[in-house]
Amino acid sequence: MSKRELISGNEACALGALASGLRFFGGYPISPSSEISEILSSRLPRAGGVFVQMEDEMASLGSVIGASLGGLRAMTATSGPGFTLMQEHLGYASLAEIPCLVVDVMRVGPSTGVPTAPSQGDVMQARWGSHGDRGTVALSPASVEEVYNLTVHAFNIADRLRTPVVLMFDEVIGHMREGVELSPPAPEDLWGRPRPAGAPGPDFRAYAPNEQGVAQLPAFGDGYRFHVTGLFHDERGYPTTNPDLVRQALERLERKLDPIPAWLPPEKYHMTDADFVYVAYGAVSRVAREAVDRLREKGVAAGLYRPRVLWPVDEAALRKDLAKARTVVVAEMNRGQWVQVVSQALPPAIRVVSYGKTGGEPVTTDEMYGLAADLNLRSVKSS
Residues interacting with other proteins, by CB under 8 A?
23-24, 26, 45, 50, 52, 54-56, 58-60, 62-72, 74, 88-89, 92, 219-221, 223-231, 236, 238-239
- Rounded distance between C-alpha atoms, residue 304 and residue 291, angstroms: 9
Burial class (CB in 10 A: 0-12, 13-18, 19+), 242: exposed
Q: Which is nearer to other proteins, 54 or 124 (CB)?
A: 54
Find the shortest distance in angstroms from Cβ 67 to other proteins. Answer: 4
Name the phi and psi angles at 202, rounded to 5. Answer: -65, -20
Name the phi and psi angles at 329, rounded to 5. Answer: -105, 120
Q: Which is nearer to other proteins, 95 or 288 (CB)?
A: 95
Q: Which is nearer to other proteins, 28 or 276 (CB)?
A: 28
Find the shortest distance in angstroms from Cβ 181 to other proteins. Answer: 33
Calculate Rg over the CA atoms of the chain: 21
Burial class (CB in 10 A: 0-12, 13-18, 19+), 228: middle
In contact, 105 and 171? CB cutoff 8 Å: yes
- Rounded distance between C-alpha atoms, residue 49 and residue 103, angstroms: 18
What is the Cα 305 distance to its own chain's centre? 17
Find the shortest distance in angstroms from Cβ 11 to other proteins. Answer: 24
Q: Which is nearer to other proteins, 70 or 356 (CB)?
A: 70
Instruction: Give me the amino acid identity at 77.
Output: A
Find the shortest distance in angstroms from Cβ 193 to other proteins. Answer: 14
Q: Which is nearer to other proteins, 222 or 367 (CB)?
A: 222
Find the shortest distance in angstroms from Cβ 329 to other proteins. Answer: 41
Q: Which is nearer to other proteins, 238 or 263 (CB)?
A: 238
* Secondary structure (DSSP) of 81-125: HHHHHTHHHHHHHHHHT--EEEEEEEEE-STT-EEEEE--TTHHH
Find the shortest distance in angstroms from Cβ 219 to other proteins. Answer: 7
Instruction: Give me the amino acid identity at 219.
Output: A
Find the shortest distance in angstroms from Cβ 239 to other proteins. Answer: 7
Q: Which is nearer to other proteins, 174 or 237 (CB)?
A: 237
In contact, 29 and 56? CB cutoff 8 Å: no
